Structure 1
Amino acid sequence: MHDDFLNPQTTLSRRHALALLAAPLAAAPALGVAAALPQITLAGPPAIVSAPLIHMAETGALKDAAQRTVFTAWRDPDQLRMMAMGGKADVLAMPSNVAANLFNRGAGVTLLNISTWGALWIVTRDAQRKTLADFKGEEIAVPFRGDMPDIVLQLLLTKQGLDPLRDFRIRYVPTPMEAMQLLITRRVSHALLSEPAVSLALRKTRSFPVGLIAPDLHRGADLQQEWGRLLRRAPRVPQAGIAAVGVVRSQPQVLDAVAQAYARSLAWCRDNALECGRMMARHIDLLTPEAVADAIAVSQMDAVPAAAARAELEFFFGQLMTPTPQLLGGRLPSEAFYHASAQRPLRGGQ
């Protein structure tokens, strides 16, 4: 908006005001809209999927779409759902099943991309445990009961004939950071974590340097490799991405701008991992730049546009729905769930 309209002490002539209102669209910003939005609010968890959103907010990557871009963190899936349904954010990083569930329940969600394809490990004190079956009979701290990553763990255990409740002692905790704290303080020996909590736990216990004689913690079962082995597919899971909610969904050019900016920011984060870590640590408590850089190095991050990811998502959703249809609201999301970009896709790896 023109600065004169923001200053109540400035009096415009009627001719000047009419001239501003009648300005041709050709003179508008590159998005082809009459004016940028006042603000776009981006939101995400303390996970690696949020790194590009933070970079977008800090660098003004959406300056043609909005006068201001801000990032805010959500702590758990319940807060995420409240933000999505209460209009507290415009674009949220979220697990793919949560996005599909919200869409099927009429909450108004448009998936823009899937960008996290592998960031789940069981971190353990026993370096010999490398597959999920190796943890049979053990206690495992697991965050977000009934949500990602718990649902991936249960799916993979069931696929190999194991019962998550009878064959394991699952200790549910509210968040990944609480699971990590239990592990670091030796109250559990194994925890299911996503990045960057995995790398943070290794850093805090000095388990990261190559050649350390007796590291305290180890990367145990890689859930992405387990997925590939058990499902006979590529070792990648369409775990999370970004989705638009609320009124911004009616502006496809803004959605294109967000999707393109996210892919560019993801590429920057991969090329500048430590600086990306510094940005992320400024917004999310407990994280350190070094742990974020470690996480970027090992996570499968690729900003695949929603429409291009649909086939892999529907396979994943189909696996989830077989035992628990309510995870997705009882059905696969329709075509309207997937944002169809009008621009040439820019992949995060480019």
Structure 2
Amino acid sequence: MRKKIVLLVSLVLFIAVMPTLVAQAAQEALAADQVIVDMAVMQGPSGFGTIGLNRNEGRLDDQTRIDLSVYPSPNEVIARLANGELDIAALPTNVAANLYAKGVPVKTAAVVGEGMLLFLTTDKTITELSDLQDRKISIPGSGSTPDQMTKILVSALGFDYESDVQLDYSIASPAQLAQMMIAGKLDLAVLPEPFVTMVLNANEQAVPLLDVQVLWSALTGTGNYPMTVIVVSDGFIAEHSDRLPLVMGAIKDSVEWVNANPGDAGVMIEEAGIMKAAMATPAIPRCNLVFRTATEGYDAMDTYLKVLHGFDYASVGGSVPDESFYLAY
């Protein structure tokens, strides 16, 4: 009788704890299937389009979360991609091509930003492109996208950029360059958004002289050029190919949300340390934030990289990437 009572009590206790054991096992299984996607963006407009990923603390579903980190320049992002610390990053298109050429195991998955460069002047005597002769053009950073595009387009306009104009790289920071234009200490510069908007709003003498994107389109017969792309590490592709549609879909949704909600996006951009909301919010409508898969954006990227290669092959790592550089998913 005593044995039966002990057995009955044991059975009751087992039944009582069974739901807890089942729930614990389910939680352990769920935790084992969790995927944290380490993603990097840089300070500045290239990080704008992805900020919507932080709306739900990076959670895409019960098993997938994106951890978005912000860095001040491409150098640290490049190093972390090379040593396998990152799964995904937003980078300038030619930087992505350079990484691929150097054997860093990454592929391009999407275009998330197109060109947004303007020639600005505060000098009323500069009214047409021929007035660029013998002028000093301030450019934020030697070898940067503004530098590459300036050289290409100045040459296309019939100038020798080594003798007919003076390309000045003494101020590498676009923010500082913008402040110098606002203060009237520079009269001709090539700037990206949001610094274009900042100068135009703060200095009534400033006017756009040349929309780089319009000239590029006229010269190449294409649309805007792909300035920022999303790259994915080969390791992430191999281990989590099933999550790629979810992740890329979330990035697309983020871009669309940022374009539709510049005020809310600006607040989140500042919270993430990408840029002050006061600068980001008014510039977002002019930042040409887009989402095109690598397949959809292939022609534009291939044209852009071929032009860069023909002009300065080192700017893309020595060779134009082949089709395996582009990720289909």
Do the two structures share a fold, i.e. TM-score over 0.5? Answer: yes
CA offset at residue 96 of structure 1?
Answer: 0.7
CA offset at residue 319 of structure 1?
Answer: 0.9
Q: Which amino acid counterpart does residue 237 of structure 2 have in structure 1?
A: R
Aligned match of 1:303 = 291
Determine helix, strand or coil for the equivalent of 2:164.
coil
| Matches of 1:156 and 1:334, distance apart in 2 | 25
Alignment TM-score, normalising by the size of structure 1? 0.78
Moved more, 311-320 or 244-253: 244-253
| Matches of 1:146 and 1:257, distance apart in 2 | 35
CA offset at residue 145 of structure 1?
Answer: 1.3
Q: Does residue 111 of the first structure (1) align with residue 105 of the second (2)?
A: no
Aligned partner of 2:235 among 244, 247, 252:
247
Aligned partner of 1:330 among 306, 318, 327:
318
In the alignment, is the contact (CA less than 8 A) between 1:65 and 1:254 conserved in 2? Answer: no
Aligned match of 1:230 = 219
Aligned match of 1:258 = 247
Q: Which amino acid counterpart does residue 305 of structure 2 have in structure 1?
A: F
Cα-Cα RMSD:
2.9
| Matches of 1:67 and 1:298, distance apart in 2 | 32
Aligned partner of 2:195 among 194, 197, 212:
197
Aligned partner of 2:42 among 42, 45, 50:
45
Aligned match of 1:186 = 184
Aligned match of 1:274 = 263
Alignment TM-score, normalising by the size of structure 2? 0.82
Q: Does residue 102 of the first structure (1) align with residue 92 of the second (2)?
A: no
In the alignment, is the contact (CA less than 8 A) between 1:36 and 1:64 conserved in 2? Answer: no
Q: Which amino acid counterpart does residue 296 of structure 2 have in structure 1?
A: A
In the TM superposition, 1:159-174 aligns within 5 A as 159-172=156-169, 173-174=171-172
Aligned match of 1:12 = none
CA offset at residue 264 of structure 1?
Answer: 0.5
| Matches of 2:270 and 2:23, distance apart in 1 | 45
Q: Deviations over 1:261-314 (max 9, x none)?
A: 1111111111111111111122336x4434323222223222010121111111
In the alignment, is the contact (CA less than 8 A) between 2:39 and 2:86 conserved in 1? Answer: yes
Determine helix, strand or coil for the equivalent of 1:154.
helix
Distance 1:65 1:182, change over 3 A: farther
Structure 2 residues not aligned, in runs of 5+: 1-20
| Matches of 1:92 and 1:133, distance apart in 2 | 40
CA offset at residue 170 of structure 1?
Answer: 1.5
Distance 1:281 1:22, change over 3 A: closer
Q: Which amino acid counterpart does residue 177 of structure 2 have in structure 1?
A: A
| Matches of 2:26 and 2:62, distance apart in 1 | 19
Q: Deviations over 1:102-155 (max 9, x none)?
A: 012111111111122221112221367466544332222212311312111111
Q: Which amino acid counterpart does residue 104 of structure 1 have in structure 2?
A: A
CA offset at residue 62 of structure 1?
Answer: 4.0
Distance 1:233 1:67, change over 3 A: closer
Distance 1:62 1:124, change over 3 A: farther
| Matches of 2:286 and 2:323, distance apart in 1 | 32
Determine helix, strand or coil for the equivalent of 1:123.
strand
Structure 1 residues not aligned, in runs of 5+: 1-14, 208-214, 342-350
| Matches of 1:307 and 1:273, distance apart in 2 | 28
Aligned match of 1:91 = 88
Q: Which structure has the larger Rg over C-alpha atoms?
A: 2
In the TM superposition, 1:206-225 aligns within 5 A as 207=203, 215-225=204-214
Q: Deviations over 1:151-202 (max 9, x none)?
A: 1111111222212221222121333223223323333222211112222333
Q: How many residues align?
A: 308
In the alignment, is the contact (CA less than 8 A) between 1:111 and 1:243 conserved in 2? Answer: yes
